[in-house]
Structure 1
């Protein structure tokens, strides 16, 4: 509408004198007047300059004022532009027709020029106020119905359109599908790389989903059949997205879209200098079998998505009725776990670590247990995954760290120097204040740092090796020992391994074998022992159940043994008597 700060006005009249007078009346430092001598020229000027206001004479050659006005009102840029028709003073029919074709106002001839100037200024102010209002409404609509991060329709938009489309599907008796997508382990991106990278990843995920849905034959066919455009892809908040498919012939079409989405994630996402791999878990619910309204369809798709995560992630699951009862049981378990943390039902058990040379217990590993007040025991593999998904793992981990350190201090005060090994979850390790937390617990418990060992899995420390080296150095500066748990089950670069400030390798129980085992199995254990010796690291062998397993470990200089051969994980009161025992008689094979 304006160039170099000037508002453009177009005056169209076949009378040159009238155009000159209009230009002299209206032109100013802030207004530039354009001219057109006929209707066709008026349209050319309008399309070229997009003026803020038009004055059209009713009687013009090559399209009269009414025709020009009607054309402009149908133009994409002319719906709201002010149009003043110039008519004869006693031409009532022209005035009525002016309004009928969409004119904003009219001016009768002969024109009173001072009044014309004031009238145009008033209409321009009113037009600007209207434009501001429209812009504000558009911005409010954008905020209300679109996700500000990805630009996708949001949950409110989705719910609004779903009701309409489901009603249409019900009337026409056809199927539809809801795909509920959640990014697997997205929180680790925010925890390790920061929220700015997490936001960039979400934008790239949204773009890739849009691109792949456009290219999908199934999706294209579904969209082509719809009489009204639907918000097929929506952002449901955070790392959750939904895809609504209408007019399906059978559930296989929803399956094809889900498979295409999963395949599209096989290519890493480029975030500046980083390549990030993230995978989707997808739940699918079908209309009308799995829900006849928007809320139920979404709820059941969400439930199915959770079961996709339980099934190993990076897959899809169709909703089944049995899922609801299982989901309810899981929700109850989550609520019970929150209460258990408050009511001291979560306690560490301890499993001895025996020195292969002396036969004495020199350390214990703290292993968390849930002992409900009503009796029984809930296995860790039932509640640890829930704790990780809900963020309760940080509270649980701190509890075990505190109780373990206080217990080790009690044993120290009674004359037994026992190193306390505490497992550190990925969630804990990625907390920016984890080192400060460990320092605080050591200070509060008065446990010497040399009696605390922190165990991290191989996969955790290798997730971002460069950054984790700095984290490990921080922890090491406290004076604690660092161990790599489950060594051999993940992937380690030896160039990184020698840079990690670690003290101990724990050989995973899955590698424990004896002299009668396959040569390949024995070779793996011997290779790990040789690696530990070359890097001057201690070794803890887990899963020792038989004396025959100890024989292949004899070459290790710094060897600790842990397993049922010596003791199962037990409560603290059962460890006390064991601290005075000697287990040399169990190591005759050495």
Structure 2
């Protein structure tokens, strides 16, 4: 859909959260849509009757009338029977999803929202709506729209879940096995980011075509057909596909199909002047061993897929067979982490933050690293989830704070200038009853200037229990420590709460910076956050700046707000003894 076409489309955005409305409106207007805004359910219905929008974005929790009721009332109107309605909420549990669809929602979107992708969800909903309007006299076509993905013409999640459940009944009676394959395209995000979403869509269509034409061609479900077949392919959403294999035989047969999928999908795809090679990670769950209902089989196949992806991509894993190895490796890593806390195998690296106006450097972020005597550095992506799940994150977090405080004192003595360090703190740690007491003890023990320590909490942690966190954050602030909200823009902060939090900095998530020099929606989002920070007298930290173009865009957009830049353009994370030049000389802006 072009911006000219989008400008003719009117979107009704309904949300009582002013921050959410601001970011949503900026994103949509940057794409050329017209937007009307409602802050409660009554106003939403009034604006719907007044403007007859083309699509409604509806928050669940609103004053006066909740989103579910508003959705039902719209559906009871003549025009609203088929109108696209996207329900948005912070809850993604099964009950909330079912309630949204029961109320009449076209689709469901949980917070936190990935803002750069919202326009594509709306575009395809509007496209589907236009198709539905033109074909609504045809019962078969309406059935198609309900059960098939409009981009690939494959069955969708709703249909395949029903089919899995149906085939489970067949498999149970016939006493044979059933396999569910969860297929995820490796590094698909890079295609969208590098070449654009139109190329990404073309890749998804080609993947769909290959899955359809290379595997039991006569048995695969076709457009408009709802016949039960032995093998079915579906698109679950995004770059995720599913293969359902009824009466799949022995594991060797399933493995052979997985190998054929990997081989088929890795053949080059030619789009315009580009030749692309895509690979896939495949997870396999087998009935009855890995689950006895559709939801469990899909979940376990998804888990197996992530194991395949973490094992190097372009491969496959059987859920049952892989689970044992994964548990053993996890136990070994947990044991090694406990030992490492005792013998200092952990180390802090530091990534400097550069003043966007002057190029001076007086602050850095502490980033945890783990050394292994055989394998070298272990990625935080591997050990942090284990630390979170086992509770080790609490002791590890206090170790990081203590080491950061010691480093602040060391740098101040060495450079004779105050250097501040920011530390990421886990939600499990900050929610402990004695967190403030232990933090105070570390500050006194290290004799550090509290104003040079900055605690970073993610937006989702801060908003998880907002009222309780207001009290906790004020207790931390009373120690003289600075506070920062990390990954800002990816969650769902309420402006009402944001004004009450005693924070000093907003850290803009890197996902908005990657394409900021070329994408208007990213510029609009960063501009909105900058204006919000300016209104609340907050500083901004922009992470993920890697190119000159990104730097210039950020400087132009945030020129009226105190801004620090963090990213590979200036410096990568490095050990403390290698940061000296950055603090003494700064950088040329």
TM-score range, shorter chain: 0.3 to 0.5
The TM-score with structure 1 as length reference comes to 0.47
Larger Rg: 1
The one of the two structures with greater contact order (alpha-carbon pairs below 8 A, sep at least 6) is 2
